[in-house]
Structure 1
Amino acid sequence: ALAGSGRPAVVLAAKAGASSELLAKLLDAYAAEPGAVAVDVLLCGPGEQAPVLRDGRADVALLHRPFDDTAGFDTEDLHTEGQVAILPAGHPLGTRAEVRLAEVTGLPELPLPRWPRPDGTFPDGPGPQVRDHTQLTQLIALGRACAIVPETGRAGLGEGLVAVPVVDAPRVTTVIAWPPHSRSTAVADLVRAATAL
């Protein structure tokens, strides 16, 4: 894509609904840099950011370890956080100060969602098949599922949902990733802006 200045835009892939605050701060910080080019944000479904970075549809991406595969990319860590359980309001676990993974994953009436694999198929299991954050939150509010997500996932939770820290869930690190062969000054500037946040 060409920015208004005639210089190519940078395509930044990010998971829709994740790292929203970090993404907004990054875009603002980079836009304030001298020589900044336009940034096209490509919002992806879960697990789609790495493939679009690998195939060249994106120049840089925000990925989340341990969920996304960062193999073969250069990366810089940006933020590490715990995880929370998203539950329907009124569920007994929703009133607790904290829960454990086994308590959340052991709720037969609120199974964890099943996200699509890279080939589009879904793993077997009792949970509902979901493709995006909106589907997920509606299913949780309806009492059909629960989810374990990074702490930043509690931002913008709608009515009918509660978030409870999961004390023994793995911590999640948001990283900015780019192909090691990239020679783009704009990508380098974007990475520098991200690591200065």
Structure 2
Amino acid sequence: MDRLQTRELAFFVAVAEELHFGRAAERLGIAQPPLSRAIGRLERRMGVTLLERSSRRVALTPAGEVFLTESRRALDAVDAAVRRAQRAARPVSRLVVAMKPGGDCGLMPGILAAYDAERDAVPVDIVLCSAHERAGMIRDGRADVGLLHRSNTDLTGLDFAELLTEDQVVVLPRSHRLAGRASVRLADLAGETMPHWSADTSNELSVRDVGQLLQLIALGRAVAVVPASVRGQLRDDLVCVPVTDAEPTTLVLAWPQGGRAPALAAFVRTATIVASR
């Protein structure tokens, strides 16, 4: 079979996401009949049925579900290749690092200072973003490398190096019933309100940086189980209590799979050395 074109993948993704040929055609800016024919040709070339069609509905087959996931990844990879090539063509190269505000376990100042001394170092731009944005930014070429927590991040398609493993603590207002305890277990936190990390802050329990999280806890609206390094950012009206049965969390440095640019390699090497100290 000849290699598929990105246009064919884009056509399929539009239909698979809309589950309606008319809406997909409108989204793509083409007429519906050519789109239907293109999907039919795609299925014949692949030798599989991707979509079940009837007069009333369009549904993905199991093969279509798999192909949708892989098509999205392929299109994202093409977009990422374009972005990286465009950035590489700029007169001054820069390394873009994505991280959550306060999510470096205190390592970033030392990493940046040591990286400046590397022969292959380039200027570094730090992009602060939510926990759920960072892996996507690395995959689509908006960032070259990022700091992520392995336990709650999908690292598919990324290479990574483990930097630091930490125990977890619960952050509480000083007035909280558990604030005076030497340690707690997860069962002790049953019924407590836990915020979640999200770029969508329309929900009052969604936070995108440590400052927002700590303010929410100080107001008595929530508590949070977080890596122990957050101790260095605590306000006077908050306390940390170790959670003895919480799984340790591992900070990793992640970059696109197969990435070998000298500036990136130097940053990864520097970060692992600094973290090991």
Q: TM-score w.r.t. structure 2 length?
A: 0.63
Distance 1:78 1:131, change over 3 A: closer
Distance in structure 2 (CA, Å) of the matches to 1:40 and 1:97: 40
- Across the two proteins, how many residue pairs are aligned to each other? 187
CA distance in 1, matches of 2:202, 2:184: 27
Contact 1:115 1:122 in 2 (8 A): no
- Match for residue 205 of structure 2? 128
Partner of 1:93: 178
5+ residue gaps, structure 2: 1-85
From 32, 35, 49, the counterpart of 2:117: 32
Structure of greater Rg: 2
Q: Secondary structure of 2:107's match?
A: helix
CA contact under 8 A between 2:172 and 2:240: conserved in structure 1?
A: yes
- In the alignment, which residue of structure 1 is the partner of 2:198? 116
1:107-146: per-residue Cα shift (whole Å, max 9, x none)?
44xx0013337xx4989xxx82333322211111011100
- Please list the CA deviations of residues 15-36 of structure 1 after superposition, one character each: whole Å capped at 9, or x if unmatched: 1111251111111111122231
Structure (1/2) with the larger strand percentage? 1
Identity, % of aligned positions: 47
Report the equivalent of 1:169.
246
Q: Is 1:49 aligned with 2:121?
A: no
Does the aligned pair in 2 maintain the 1:84–1:166 contact within 8 Å?
A: yes
> Structure 1 residue 67: deviation in Å?
1.3
Unmatched 5+ stretches in structure 1: none
Scaled by the length of structure 1, the TM-score of the pair is: 0.86
Deviation at 1:90, TM superposition (A): 2.0
Which is helix-richer, 1 or 2?
2
Q: Is contact 1:76-1:176 (8 Å) kept?
A: yes
RCO (CA 8 Å, sep 6+): is it higher in 1 or 2? 1
Q: Which of residues 259, 262, 267 in structure 2 aligns to 1:182?
A: 259
Q: Give me the CA root mean square deviation.
A: 2.3
Q: Where do residues 127-146 of structure 1 align in structure 2 (5 Å cutoff)? A: 128-146=205-223
Deviations 1:93-113 (A, max 9, x none): 111111111212x144xx001
